[in-house]
Amino acid sequence: MATFSISSLLKKSRFGVSDVAAGIVQQGLVAVFGFLATVFMARGLGPSNLGLVSLALSISGIATSLSDLGIGQTAIRFGSRELTLGQKDKAFKVFRWAFRVRILQSLGVSLLFLIIAPYFGVLWGNANMVGLVRWSLILGILGAMSHIPNVYFQAIRRFWLNAGVAVFQAAVSLAGILLLRTNHWWTPLAVLQNSIGATLLGTVAVLCLVPRQTLIELSPRVMRKLAEVKMWFKAPSVSANESVDERPEQFSRYLMVSSVIVMVYTRLDVWILGTIKDPSAVGAYAIANKIVLPLSMVLGALSAALWPRVSSAKNQQELRNLFRRTLAMSALLAIPAAIYSLVGPVLIPILFGVKYEAGVLPAQLLGLRYVIDIIVCPVGIVGYGFGMVKIYPLINFAQMLVMVILSVSLLKSYGAVAVALGILLADLLGMILSALILYKRMKARSLMEDTQF
């Protein structure tokens, strides 16, 4: 009976399974290449220099998140729906709006971090951080340029094409690391420059693959309005739909607040560790994050496949059916994920060296965190179809408070373990709150529909 149920689930969701498989293949190959690169980096750079690279990349990650602020998810949500309704012109307007806003925000945020870079050297007690932070900002700009084309492929469900570009970029990055290893060019700056080169090639490839209408429209009417700055930020009008009770401006506004909070609390782990001014601790923690990267890849693949489907749902009943199927799939994925989260980190001393052994327990805690996230993924994304975009900022803020309070209070005694535990408990809190609120909203909508009927 159990076998039949699983087979039936996979048959009904065969296209979804294919998209998730594309994401897992992509993320798997990227993870393998990235894992090999990290092994070479860890042994070549050592814990201290690897810690410097991790701190610099954390700034780049923050700059990338600040330039997004939910723009990408808004584009997927409304662009996918317009494509489902056959409104290609409106879909392209959504993507163009997202692209120009993302680029302008990326340039503004990068300029800000470029100016305040010297303060990071003071904060972490290393003058070399100034140059590393400034170089890392290039990654944020390139990431913004390639993000909306990736969103387009996600919206039209061309996951395999997107996977090919991502794998190509990861392979180039690994080739660069092997070049550094062969010539013994192990410096934090050389590693960053290698990442920039690989990202640049991937960005050029993805920009060449998308239709021009996705990025820019050079009609005479548009040319006359280029001087109107407000036009660049104004969201386009979209079609009405039963399952969407908000406009792009409203959706992106709430998502922006939520994105800022999530960005801060997911980057605070490295920053809090950085305050103890021990780059080797940050290096060991970076390895802990790297060993659980396959779980992050599975979560990303599941999320990428689910977003356009939730966005394309025409009514509440479609959302409920999608939620049931996806929740069952995520529960199945969580089983091997839980096993890996406990067993995988044990390999850290073997793969990266005994000097990184301190990352084993933090890695196990971070792995369990991803197990929770995989289970709750359908809850989080389907929740947008039930108006929970207005609730998520409050949930995310509560998560951030839990993470910060636990991490700071236990940091001196437990170090990286305290930070990982704070993240685990924060995500557990988010899962409980999101599930309870979504259940209540789904039940209320169901009762409302029965009354109307």
Tens-place pLDDT, residues 302-311: 887 777 777 6
DSSP letter for 244, please. B
pLDDT at residue 366, as a whole number? 93
pLDDT at residue 40, as a whole number? 87
pLDDT at residue 231, as a whole number? 53
pLDDT at residue 339, as a whole number? 94
Given a cut of 90, whether residue 120 has pLDDT beyond it is no
pLDDT at residue 38, as a whole number? 83
Tens-place pLDDT, residues 183-236: 888 888 898 888 888 888 888 887 887 777 777 766 556 555 555 555 555 555
Confidence class of residue 255 from pLDDT cuts 50, 70 and 90?
A: confident
Selection from 281, 153, 257 nearest residue 210 by Cα: 153
Most confident of 125-129, 355-359, 444-448: 355-359
Helix (H) or strand (E) holding 106: helix 88-123
> Looking at residues 154-169, what average pLDDT do you find?
75
Phi, psi of 241, deg, nearest 5: -155, 140
Which residue matches tokens 């437990």? 414
CB burial of residue 326 (10 Å; 0-12, 13-18, 19+):
buried
DSSP letter for 427, please. H
Between 2-16, 110-124, 254-268, the lowest mean confidence (pLDDT) is in: 2-16
Mean pLDDT (the chain, rounded): 79
> Looking at residues 142-160, what average pLDDT do you find?
75
> C-alpha 398: how far from its chain's center?
20
* Count of other CB atoms within 10 angstroms of residue 335: 11
Tens-place pLDDT, residues 382-407: 888 787 888 888 998 999 899 888 88
3 state DSSP class of 32: helix
pLDDT at residue 1, as a whole number? 42
Confidence class of residue 358 from pLDDT cuts 50, 70 and 90?
A: confident
User: What is the rounded distance in angstroms from the CA atom of residue 325 to the CA atom of residue 118?
Assistant: 50
Given a cut of 70, whether residue 238 has pLDDT beyond it is no
pLDDT at residue 244, as a whole number? 46
The DSSP code sequence of 112-134 is HHHHHHHHHHHHTT-TTHHHHHH
> Looking at residues 362-384, what average pLDDT do you find?
89
Alpha-carbon distances of 369 from 278, 416, 417, rounded to whole Å:
25, 15, 13
Residue 415, sorted as left (phi over 0), alpha (psi -120 to 50) or beta, turns out to be left
pLDDT at residue 19, as a whole number? 65
Higher-confidence position of 23 and 236:
23
pLDDT at residue 245, as a whole number? 46
pLDDT at residue 228, as a whole number? 55
Selection from 370, 368, 392 nearest residue 381 by Cα: 392
Beta strands in 64-207 (DSSP E): none
CB burial of residue 72 (10 Å; 0-12, 13-18, 19+):
buried
Confidence class of residue 4 from pLDDT cuts 50, 70 and 90?
A: very low
Share of the chain above pLDDT 70, in %: 83
Compute the C-alpha angle 40/344/291, nearest 5°: 40
Which residue matches tokens 């070049």? 179
Selection from 394, 370, 389 nearest residue 288 by Cα: 370
pLDDT at residue 3, as a whole number? 47
406-414: long-range pairs with CB below 8 Å, 24+: 407/268, 407/269, 407/272, 408/272, 411/272, 411/273, 411/276
pLDDT at residue 237, as a whole number? 56
User: What is the rounded distance in angstroms from the CA atom of residue 187 to the CA atom of residue 31?
Assistant: 23
CB burial of residue 414 (10 Å; 0-12, 13-18, 19+):
middle
